[in-house]
Amino acid sequence: MARLNLLEETRYEKLPVSVYNNQHEASVAVANRIADLIRAKQAKGEKAVLGLATGVTPIGVYAELVRLHKEAGLSFKNVITFNLDEYYPMKPTAAQSYVTFMYENLFGHIDIDKANVHIPDGTLDKDAVAGYCLAYEKQIEELGGLDLQILGIGRTGHIGFNEPGSAPNSGTRMVTLDDLTRSDASRDFGGKANVPTKAITMGIGTIFKAREIILMAWSKKKAPIIKKAVEGEISGEVPATYLQLSQHVEFVLDEAAASELTRFDTPWLVKDCVWDNQLKKKAVIWLANEINKPVLKLTEEDYNNHGMAQLAVEQGPVYNINIDIFNQIQHTITGWPGGKPDADDSQRPERALPAKKRSIIFSPHPDDDVISMGGTFIRLVDQGHDVHVAYQTSGNTAVWDDDVLRYMEFAIDFTNSIGEDTTHLQKSYEDMRAFFPTKQPNEIDTQEIRNVKGFIRKTEAISGARYAGLQDDHIHFMALPFYETGKTKKNSVGEEDIQLTIDLLQKIKPQQIFAAGDFADPNGTHLVCFKIILAALDRLKGKEAWVEDCWLWMYRGAWHEFETYEIEMAVPLSPQEVIRKRNAIFKHQSQKDRPVFPGDDAREFWVRAEDRTRDTAQRYDRLGLAEYEAMEAFKRYMF
């Protein structure tokens, strides 16, 4: 019976999928499977031939394999490896090279014979590439093929660098990289312009010949493409769908990456559900959007025709369900994000008391506060709350080099104008002008340059916070040490990061905390900064009485909003408030027009912010709620 139930739940899935609680558990499981294969081959006196991948996804697997080597005696002397791909052209010593990646994350820490390591050569003459690729294939064939191939998946659905349009029988070859793939790699190269347009990759046909294939994916960011790969039709537009044809493949996912699969996203379509309030709310909102009806117009027939008959029978009549969900959504809307004084707060998202709250807005970068919740920020100040803002990092990696020269030229001219000596400034300026033309992609700036970039972000943040109505003593710059590497890759969180946060919290003793809760990128600054706040609160809990009365509200960044069913506080903005928020964002001039790290969205931050909040308001409107110009959304985090 359990087997039948599982088959029913997974009937939309066209290949085997294993889902783990988090990427660490999944990575350990995959590493153990690789280790078991290596040991089984050792016992037979045979070689284990592995196909390996690069990128963020397999890092945890490699870390566990290194641990097993050092702590459990796992030897790699019988292992032969073939990497999937390499950028072209690419020197093996370059920071972005997959040779560098593999030695930093795996080969440099284990006892593998370096002669058994094979990584596509990015230094070849173009005329030599085709012959090299044939020889790469032949080496694999002569060893009897790959025993196990591990894969990640790109947002285009590529596996290896087999981009949309790749043939299912393709072999190792040179390819042209998709624009989205290059955008995703831009941070590693210090800008998209520096990302190679070509790569050498194993083909889909080569991958298919492996006796076992494991495709791994972590984070919400990968959820949409995973749904296409697992449940979609086979298509050259999504190369990973070709894996549906293999009898030897398994997708290994964390919960976030699996979240858009039918059995997790809309489970009522594949099984009977335990209808807690959150699932009921999600289902009713989904149904309203699916058939384009306001919540209060949904009928029993609508429920029955869309997999929700069980809910209608167990908790109906459906009109009562509709009213209940409509009221819950309506009660999230408030023009009083700090609580409405002298009002019944039993149906409001925030407490009425204390009437004037101490609120702190944590901003991971120096502009997340106004981009993400600028309207709420301004409204909290207007309504008389004691509002503080804390900029957790300097943001100094996200400033253009020519802005540094512009500010230095201003500093020299101003210093001259007041009759002060500019010798040292001029020397620094000349050093900077000499450094920039020779600067390599992602090369660390000098400390003086990093300082200037940090000062630029700081003055812009002060200007934005002042525009929102804050006094200078309510504006805090934390410059958390984990960020101050000068590199896009940051250090691990340290004790000082947590202690600085504890000190600020103890100073303010807030009743409200607002923090960035945008976790789509598991290695992003937002998630790191949020975990630092949680670590600080965890240490203070039980020791400081104010913590028991402190509520933590999460907001989202410039790209993604909470799902409607997740929203617990929605702050509507009038057209005039939208303009005020826009003006606060405009104070961040270094991030306007063309930021250093725009992602794959060409819109300016203020446009993204306005489009996002307008869409949130429209989502509420389509459900039958009041029509607003814009809405900023929040979800409470219980710590």
Q: Which tens digits make up the pLDDT trace of 268-286?
A: 999 999 999 999 999 999 9
Q: For the domain 360-399+444-637, what is the CATH code?
A: 3.40.50.10320
Q: What digits encode the pLDDT tens for the residues 69-125? A: 999 999 999 999 999 999 999 999 999 999 999 999 999 999 999 999 999 999 999
- pLDDT per residue as tens digits for the range 309-368: 999 999 999 999 999 999 999 999 999 999 999 999 999 999 999 999 999 999 999 999
Which amino acid is residue 260, in one-letter code?
E
pLDDT at 606 over 70: yes
Q: Are 338 and 385 in contact (CB under 8 A)?
A: yes
| Mean pLDDT value across residues 549-576 | 94
**CA 445 – CA 486 distance, rounded (Å):** 6
pLDDT at 519: 76
- DSSP per-residue codes, 560-615: ----GGG-SEEEEE-HHHHHHHHHHHHT-GGGSSS-S--TT--S-HHHHHHHHHHH
Helix (H) or strand (E) holding 24: helix 23-43
Please tell me which residue, 194 or 152, carries the higher pLDDT value.
152
Beta strands in 369-528 (DSSP E): 386-391, 475-477, 512-516
Exposed e or buried b for every residue in 160-196, given b needs 16+ CB within 10 A?
bbbbbebebebebbbbebbeebbbbbbbbbbebeebb
Question: What are the tens digits of pLDDT across the range 466-522?
Answer: 999 999 999 999 999 999 886 767 788 999 999 999 999 999 999 999 999 987 654
Residue 446 CB neighbour total at 10 angstroms? 14
**CA-only gyration radius of the chain, Å:** 27
Identify the pLDDT of residue 610. Answer: 95
3-class secondary-structure state, position 8: helix
* Residue 190 pLDDT class (50, 70, 90 cuts): confident
H or E, element range at 630: strand 630-637
Question: pLDDT band for position 400 (50/70/90)?
Answer: very high
Instruction: Read off the pTM.
Output: 0.91
List pLDDT tens digits, range 404-421.
999 999 999 999 999 999
What mean pLDDT, rounded, does the chain reach? 95
Taking the CB of residue 25, how many other CB atoms lie within 10 A of it? 13
Residue in 64, 137, 163, 350 annotated catalytic: 163
357 CB burial (10 A radius; 0-12, 13-18, 19+): buried
Residue type, 105: N
Percent of the chain, pLDDT > 70? Answer: 97
The answer to whether residue 598 scores a pLDDT higher than 80 is: no
Q: How confident is the model at residue 599 (pLDDT cuts 50, 70, 90)?
A: low
Look up 563 and say whether it is catalytic: no
| Structural domain boundaries in the chain | 36-263, 273-332, 360-399+444-637
Q: 147 versus 491: which is more confidently predicted?
A: 147
* pLDDT band, residue 429 (cuts 50/70/90): very high
Residue 259 to residues 6, 20, 366, 489: CA-CA distances in angstroms?
A: 17, 11, 31, 27
Structure tokens at 291: 């058939």
**Residue 560 pLDDT > 90:** no
Query: How long a stretch of residues is the chain?
Result: 639
Tokens (6 digits) for 267: 């489970």
360-399+444-637: same fold as 36-263? Answer: yes
Find the helix or strand (DSSP H, E) in which 83 lies.
strand 79-83
Give the CATH architecture of domain 36-263.
3-Layer(aba) Sandwich (3.40)
Amino acid at 206: T
- The answer, yes or no, to whether residue 15 has pLDDT greater than 50, is yes
